[in-house]
Amino acid sequence: MKNLKHIINAILGVSLVCSSVTSFASSAKSTVDERPNILVILTDDMGYADVGFNGSTDIKTPTLDALAEKGTTFTAAYNVHPFCGPSRAGLMTGRYPHKFGSQFNLPRSSRAGGLGIPLEETYISKVLQDAGYFTGAVGKWHLGEKPEFHPNNRGFDEFYGFLNGGHDYFPSKFKAKYDKDVERGFNHAIFGYLKPLERNGKEVEEKEYVTDGLSREAVSFIEKAGEDKKQPFFLYLAYNAPHSPMQAKQEDMAQFPEITDKKRKVYAGMVYAVDRGVKRVVESLKATGQYENTLIVFLSDNGGKPKLGADNAPLRGRKGSAYEGGSRTPMFFHWPKQPISGKIFTHPVSTLDFYPTFAELARATIPEKKKLDGKRLFNHIMSDTNPRGDEMLYFMRHRKGFSEVSGVKNNWKVANISGNKWQLFNLANDIGETKDLSAKYPNMVREMVAELEDWSWTHPQPLWFHIHEEGVQWREMAMPRFHETFKVTN
Ligand code: CA
């Protein structure tokens, strides 16, 4: 990672994306690199109302709440997609995953069927690595498992975690099951959630509750980064909590004696373990002198599943939905060195925006041919202006024989959830999408639907399907059937 190019970049800050960035990250004229560290903390399937800073009344998240209070909280932050794989693909590539055939989760089969996010989509991690950042990914990957799709080959110097879409939490249990399957001669047939974790491609034996193991590894990365202040770091800490399987430590659940619902209690314990982990991470940033100049971004990858104990209130819908509950996520930015403390940012932002925003902060060069769908956020945070003006944010999730689609433009939201009826909501006073205003503003519906339709024609056929049967249905039903999706009958 420390080749000559990196060192030159670090010292001279030569690869400017845009000169205006100097207002956010001091010009690196000295030998000390003053570009910020960037730490993304992603939770998995966490509901809108499942952290204190975003309205939870029963789940305690003291560390996250304290960071949110001292940072900028986003009230209209969106994931690119309402479930895991495409959401993460959007974050890493800065593009709608629909545009490069990655609309579905990778196949559930062993080794993800050998598939992964197309290599021509340069990840933000690679751009930051090339700009001289020390880069690490800890936790869930879910973007391809073959060597060419591995984090170490997509811009991460260090990786600790697991490559598939989830993992069991208690090593004593998952290791016993795994050992039994190995004894039975299984290899390809072993469920990915039971497999050993890995470090840079080599299997390791994780001995801690997985959330604690990931926190430990994040701390270890931060300590390593702290040894050489000349090189800023980018850490992508992707906790699988509170994604299923629902498994919490007794001591974490004991934090919530007032929660009587069993599912909610387990879920609360899993979220609390993340908060404990973030506390350790913050302490390590302080201990290594990196706290002041680290941008911490916290969010979930998509909405929660109420049947597993999550709460998306006051939003309508849940994980997988094109209603707000699918993609609107609690989010904050925290960065002591910048005056963003105490701000509440209400304009719509997307994880698509991370790529150009981080590249700007790092004064990194984005490959000339790289296409991006996001916006640079910092000027807008400082001036409290809408990063995308009248541009729409698009959401599309394919179902059996139809698609759930929605679009958000300023405060307006148009949505087709059932496949045959368009609704219109004013999110400014109806965040819960309860009052359909489509009959009152038919022209606005037509205009917004037409814009969504234009966007949809940029999508190639999906490169894969999560479940084989989905692919069969897709072909048999002549999907995507956009001629039906974008018909406005009301
Ligand atoms: Ca997820």
**Block residue for tokens 């034996």:** 205
Please give the backbone phi and psi of residue 94, each rounded to the nearest 5 degrees, phi first: 70, 20
DSSP reduced 3-state for 281:
helix
Ligand 1 centre from 140 Cα, in Å?
10
Burial of 151 per CB tally in 10 Å (0-12, 13-18, 19+): buried
**Local confidence pLDDT in tens for the 490 residues of the chain:** 434 444 444 444 333 333 344 445 444 444 578 999 999 999 999 999 999 999 999 999 999 999 999 999 999 999 999 999 999 999 999 999 999 999 999 998 777 789 999 999 999 999 999 999 999 999 999 999 999 999 999 999 999 999 999 999 999 999 999 999 999 999 888 999 999 999 999 999 999 999 999 999 999 999 999 997 689 999 999 999 999 999 999 999 999 999 999 999 999 999 999 999 999 999 999 999 999 999 999 999 999 999 999 999 999 999 999 999 999 999 999 999 999 999 999 999 999 999 999 999 999 999 999 999 999 999 999 999 999 999 999 999 999 999 999 999 999 999 999 988 999 999 999 999 999 999 999 999 999 999 999 999 999 999 999 998 999 999 999 999 999 999 998 6
Q: Which of 84, 98, 150, 398 is catalytic?
A: 84
The pair of three-digit structure tokens given for residue 2, joined into one six-digit string: 């420390």
What type of residue sits at position 41?
I
* Buried-exposed string 315-345: b where 16+ CB fall within 10 A, e elsewhere: bbbbbbbbbbbbbbbbbbbbbbebebeebeb
**Block residue for tokens 């420390």:** 2
pLDDT of residue 31: 57
Strands 158-162 and 294-300: unpaired
Ligand 1 centre from 322 Cα, in Å?
14
Ligand 1 centre from 246 Cα, in Å?
14
Cα(464)–Cα(104) distance, integer angstroms = 7
Residue 340 · residue 384 · CB < 8 Å: no
Residue 67 · residue 299 · CB < 8 Å: no
Among 279, 215, 37, 207, which Cα is nearest to 134's?
37
| 142 catalytically annotated | yes
The total number of residues written for the chain in this structure: 490
Ligand 1 centre from 44 Cα, in Å?
4
Per-residue DSSP letter, 284:
H
DSSP reduced 3-state for 388:
coil
Residue 225 · residue 37 · CB < 8 Å: yes
Cα(129)–Cα(157) distance, integer angstroms = 8
Ligand 1 centre from 303 Cα, in Å?
7
Ligand 1 centre from 238 Cα, in Å?
10
Ligand 1 centre from 182 Cα, in Å?
28
Kindly give, in sequence order, each residue whose CB lies less than 8 Å from that of residue 177, ignoring residues fewer than 6 positions away. 168, 194
Ligand 1 centre from 15 Cα, in Å?
34
Kindly give, in sequence order, each residue whose CB lies less than 8 Å from that of residue 461, ignoring residues fewer than 6 positions away. 101
Ligand 1 centre from 8 Cα, in Å?
38
Strand ranges in 342-431 using DSSP code E only, listed in sequence order: 344-345, 349-350, 393-399, 402-409, 412-416, 422-426
Cα(445)–Cα(450) distance, integer angstroms = 8
Ligand 1 centre from 83 Cα, in Å?
5
Per-residue DSSP letter, 66:
H
Among 79, 75, 78, 47, which Cα is nearest to 61's?
47
pLDDT of residue 24: 53
Among 448, 457, 447, which Cα is nearest to 483's?
457
Domain annotation for the chain: domains and CATH numbers: 1-30 (no CATH), 34-383 (3.40.720.10), 393-485 (3.30.1120.10)
Ligand 1 centre from 462 Cα, in Å?
19
pLDDT of residue 33: 82
Strands 37-43 and 294-300: parallel
pLDDT of residue 105: 96
Ligand 1 centre from 191 Cα, in Å?
18
Cα(485)–Cα(18) distance, integer angstroms = 40
Q: Which helix (H) or strand (E) holds 8?
A: helix 4-12
pTM (predicted TM-score): 0.94
Q: Which of 81, 98, 142, 243 is catalytic?
A: 142
| 150 catalytically annotated | no
Cα(240)–Cα(83) distance, integer angstroms = 13
Among 486, 488, 479, which Cα is nearest to 103's?
479
Ligand 1 centre from 65 Cα, in Å?
22
Cα(379)–Cα(14) distance, integer angstroms = 21
HSE, side-chain direction, 13 A CA sphere, residue 152: 13
Ligand 1 centre from 81 Cα, in Å?
10
Radius of gyration of the chain (CA): 22
The pair of three-digit structure tokens given for residue 60, joined into one six-digit string: 């305690």
Ligand 1 centre from 85 Cα, in Å?
7
Ligand 1 centre from 45 Cα, in Å?
4
Q: Is the dihedral of CA 226, 228, 232, 233 positive or negative?
A: negative
Among 9, 20, 86, 4, which Cα is nearest to 364's?
9
